[in-house]
Amino acid sequence: MKRREFIAGLGAAAASPRAARAQQPERMRRIGVGLGAANDQDGQKLIAAFRAGLNAHGWTEARNLRIDYRWAEGKTDLIKAYTGELLDLKPEAVLIVGARILAAMQDATRTVPLVFVGTVDPVAQGFVASWARPGGNTTGFTLFEFSVLSKMLETLKQIAPSIKRLAVIFHSDNPESIISLRLLETAAPAFAVKPIPAPVRDRAEIERAIETLALEPDTGLLLPPDIFTPIHRELIVALAARHRVPAVYPTRGFAAVGGMVSYGVDVNDISRRAAGYIDRILRGEKPGDLPVQAPTKFELVINVKTAKTLGLDVPLSLQQLADEVIE
């Protein structure tokens, strides 16, 4: 073939329908994300890991994916309002952090695929039919299992063995907290402590709860996983320090701002796994066919400096097990 004919052939191929389709920009897909506070360290960490997971599956914001975010700040009225806003944007899937947001979403839609991160026993709460076959439009990843609360309590007792009462702070509107409290009541006798429930709704109630509970000697503090308490992280940590209450928290963010110790799920890992489910849904799979998954990676962070200010020594064996030790 002559050079001129070869070049002409290339031009014809480029003009073919198949070549034209290949040169067209990728179809823009749309998903929503509903979670806690915009300035929450743990929430930002979760989103960063989620984006990285999406990128690993070929989804990039502004190129082939649009993500609409709504930060409900743990407020019931905002949860309801933002649920409607997200669904009005016609997302092909929604990532949800927290049971209260999930409940609002399920009330609003039974067709838009929902992937949750962070629930306690989604079957018992009626979010899914079963772990293996969720059914309907919902699946996801729990940020919790029974061993987490037991391990939190065990860790607190290793650092502060004299604790006999355990203040448990949680949002009074969160049904998951009731499940967590029951699990703690089951685990507590093995550690010779008595759980004291402290339901709260705002900053003022948090202050009153900790101040009141701290009046009794040998009191420790435990915060079960919740999207509400991290919003008030600095306040809770400051109150625990002021009243000299040893405390264990559910996420690293608490220890980073002075909390004594945290034990919980590795948020980076579970967020990347959630991105994998969003990818599978965008490619045609049904959420009801994707099994609910439990956490597999956890992280222990110890703030030795804070423990020392409380007159407590962190066992070397516990420090050696920690993922991070803050001096």
Residue 158 lies in a domain: yes
**What local confidence, expressed as pLDDT, does residue 8 receive?**
45
Residue 9 lies in a domain: no
Rounded to whole angstroms, how far apart are CA atoms 327 and 324? Answer: 10
For 162, half-sphere exposure in the C-beta direction (CA atoms, 13 angstrom radius) is 10
Same domain, 310 and 287: no
Same domain, 137 and 271: yes
Block residue for tokens 């293996």:
132
Same domain, 185 and 80: no
Q: Can you say whether the dihedral through the CA atoms of 323, 272, 131, 73 is positive or negative?
A: positive
Block residue for tokens 């990728």:
26
Nearest to 206 by CA among 226, 184, 182, 229: 229
Residue 196 lies in a domain: yes
Residue 204 lies in a domain: yes
188: left (phi > 0), else alpha (psi -120 to 50), else beta?
A: alpha
| Burial class (CB within 10 angstroms; exposed 0-12, middle 13-18, buried 19+) of 204 | exposed
CATH number where 140 lies: 3.40.50.2300
Crossing angle of helices 41-56 and 267-282, in 10° steps, is 40
Residue 80 lies in a domain: yes
Nearest to 294 by CA among 153, 165, 140: 140
Residue 287 lies in a domain: yes
Residue 7 lies in a domain: no
Same domain, 70 and 108: yes
For 309, half-sphere exposure in the C-beta direction (CA atoms, 13 angstrom radius) is 16
**What local confidence, expressed as pLDDT, does residue 44 receive?**
85
Domain that holds residue 53: 29-144+266-297
Same domain, 78 and 172: no
Q: What are phi and psi of 235, to 5 degrees?
A: -65, -50
Same domain, 274 and 317: no
Same domain, 271 and 218: no
Same domain, 318 and 222: yes
- Beta partners for residue 65, in sequence order: 29, 61
Residue-level pLDDT, tens digit, the chain, 327 residues:
444 444 444 444 444 444 443 444 579 999 999 987 666 777 888 899 999 999 999 999 999 999 999 988 777 788 889 999 999 999 999 999 888 899 999 999 999 999 999 888 899 899 999 999 999 999 999 876 678 899 999 999 999 999 999 999 998 888 888 888 888 999 999 999 999 999 999 999 999 999 999 999 999 999 998 878 888 999 999 999 999 999 999 999 999 999 999 999 898 899 999 999 999 999 999 999 999 999 999 999 999 999 999 999 999 999 999 999 999
Same domain, 48 and 133: yes
Rounded to whole angstroms, how far apart are CA atoms 86 and 114? Answer: 12
pTM of the full structure: 0.85
Residue 198 lies in a domain: yes
| Burial class (CB within 10 angstroms; exposed 0-12, middle 13-18, buried 19+) of 119 | buried
| Burial class (CB within 10 angstroms; exposed 0-12, middle 13-18, buried 19+) of 132 | exposed
- Beta partners for residue 171, in sequence order: 200
Same domain, 93 and 150: no
Same domain, 168 and 305: yes
Number of domains in the chain: 2
**What local confidence, expressed as pLDDT, does residue 128 receive?**
97
8 A C-beta contact, residue 32 and residue 109: no
3-state per-residue secondary structure call for 99-142: HHHHHHHHHHCCCCCEEEECCCCCCCCCCCCCCCCCCCCEEEEC
CA torsion angle 255 227 113 273 (round to 10): 10
Same domain, 203 and 278: no
